Structure 1
Amino acid sequence: MGFVEGPREPDDPVLGELSSHDVDHYFRSGVDEAHRVRVDMLLHQHFRERGLADGVSKMVLNQLLGYGLEYVKGLVRSGGIFASSTRQGRGVLRQDVPPHDVEDLSSEVVWDGYVMFCERGLLGGKWSPYDGLSLKQYYSNACVLAFPNTYRRWQRGRRDWVDVELLDAWSTVDQLQADRSPEDTVVTQAVVDSLFKHIGHSDSALLALVRGGYNPAEIGELMRLKPHTVEVRISRARAVARRYLSREGGLS
């Protein structure tokens, strides 16, 4: 796989054909500067001439997303992304992000940064290797710029999220109400009420939508969450809900 050369920037060096191996190597740490500059020039030329929809562009952008996820996860774990945002004049109050939430938050940041990067940097023509920033650096900066708004939205959606499997928990209640005596059902309902008492208004709405048969994509659209985020939260919480109900007597 290679790029067909077209018109070159003034005073460009001789650009050879760029292979998928070159792209793989580009996204590894420790790549030498000459290789980095050559790849950046070819990528700039390719995006300018062919846009973002062809196979080569998709391959590069997928690699960029993977690179961005690892980069942002490191910044979120260390708290460095808060400091980076402050230096950009877009600071947010720093809070510790629980380890199990790092990937969830980082995925949101990486996607929002990606959208900004594509719209402004590539389609808007703002990124050029001749201005001194590599493709990776420009994209990393876009992720940092996107972080404050993404973080605030993520916090609003999270609302001190309690790790529970909403659908399974309420299905359990429905089953117990059908199979048990009225006294047992009252006890079980009290257990589940305690399970959900810490859920905020946002997540109570999510619960109502799940019970109403809405799918993750529909819930995400209504609550301004990505469908993947909805799915991750529901999937991750299944075991927690079952352990909780079992411990408190709801599944005994």
Structure 2
Amino acid sequence: MQGDVAGEQSAATSARDLQPPDHVGKSDLRAPVSEDDVRQMDARHERATRRLKANVERRVRDRQLVLALARDGFQGQQYEHFVEELARYGISVLRGWMHSGYIFRLTAERGFGLSPHELELEDLSQDSELREELATMTVASALPSFRQRALVEGRWSHEGGASITTYFMGACLYAFPNEFRRHRAAEERHRRALQRQRAVHEDVVHPLSTCEDVAGRERVLEELRSIRDPRARAAVALTIDGYTQEEIRQLLDERSARAIEGLLYRWRGKARRRHGGEQRG
């Protein structure tokens, strides 16, 4: 309620400022507008015009790009390049939103009450790898529905006021809550597992096992970062977490489990060739 009162006071103050002062006479009303006032107004108008023009030009370029992608059925090399650039942009923006916590305000505005704990906000602010993982999974989850709805079904239009990247970030905001809830559930399972382990063993953590665990995690993260395709990266990450191919298919909204198997097969082949080259070198 305090904010409501403050808002009313601010609005009232602003309204008073728009009224002429009591000492102004009729002769003053004929005074010309100063050159400084005109310059300020012209500058504001010019900035607004430039922003509007840039937005229109960007949406026109997006329309031309979408028409070109549509000619190939939203597949092929040009589409893959488009997806790669879009994914890179989406991951970068999501990481920034998570670092500041702004993403929870945006999701709340869309009806997702995630109610993050202070410790969760702190983790997202300090843990770059966590932000990378959540951003990658969110983008991989958003891409299939974005392709179908925005592109194939033509729900995105350059006349709608949003660029294609802005539209895609909207799709990411609808995918993020599920990814965050999965992360939260995984953290809770891990916490309970540690509690059960402590109940059985007095000495739960051995220094050597901790070092090995950290080293293993670093190797896994390094391997994941080397995968350029966000869908393949998400499939590999989910496989490492113990999800079945059918579960991964549902999470990534792929056509079949065979599609997931194909992603993993191609990744394994590239990984074998890469590691084989490193050993020979």
TM-score (norm 1): 0.52
- 5 Å-filtered alignment, 1:66-215, equals 66-95=88-117, 96=121, 97-98=123-124, 99=127, 100-159=129-188, 161=190, 194-195=204-205
**C-alpha separation in 1, matches of 2:245 and 2:65:** 37
**C-alpha separation in 2, matches of 1:72 and 1:131:** 23
**C-alpha separation in 2, matches of 1:124 and 1:157:** 35
Give the C-alpha shift of residue 224 in structure 1.
Answer: 4.8
CA offset digits 1:129-174 (Å, max 9, x no partner): 1222110010000001111122112222333647xxxxxxxxxxxx
The residue identity in structure 1 corresponding to 2:174 is: L
Q: Give 1:236's aligned residue.
A: none
Contact 1:44 1:128 in 2 (8 A): no
Structure exhibiting the larger radius of gyration computed from Cα positions:
2
Is the aligned partner of 1:220 residue 2:243?
A: yes
CA offset digits 1:44-70 (Å, max 9, x no partner): 212333222121111111100000000
Structure 1 gaps, min length 5: 1-30, 163-188, 197-214, 229-252
Q: Give 1:41's aligned residue.
A: 63
Q: Which has the higher helix share?
A: 2
Give the C-alpha shift of residue 190 in structure 1.
Answer: 5.0
Contact 1:79 1:94 in 2 (8 A): no
CA offset digits 1:70-114 (Å, max 9, x no partner): 000001111111100111112211231341411111111121122
Contact 1:44 1:129 in 2 (8 A): no
**C-alpha separation in 2, matches of 1:220 and 1:34:** 44
**C-alpha separation in 1, matches of 2:136 and 2:189:** 19
**C-alpha separation in 2, matches of 1:58 and 1:40:** 16
**C-alpha separation in 2, matches of 1:61 and 1:34:** 22
TM-score (norm 2): 0.47
Contact 1:76 1:102 in 2 (8 A): yes
DSSP-derived class of the 2:147 partner: helix
CA offset digits 1:1-27 (Å, max 9, x no partner): xxxxxxxxxxxxxxxxxxxxxxxxxxx
**C-alpha separation in 1, matches of 2:54 and 2:67:** 20
Aligned in 2, Cα 1:154/1:58: closer, same or farther, shift over 3 Å?
same
Contact 1:73 1:106 in 2 (8 A): yes
Contact 2:150 2:156 in 1 (8 A): yes
**C-alpha separation in 2, matches of 1:158 and 1:118:** 31
Runs of 4+ off more than 4 Å: 222-228
**C-alpha separation in 1, matches of 2:247 and 2:183:** 10
Contact 2:59 2:164 in 1 (8 A): no
The residue identity in structure 2 corresponding to 1:125 is: G
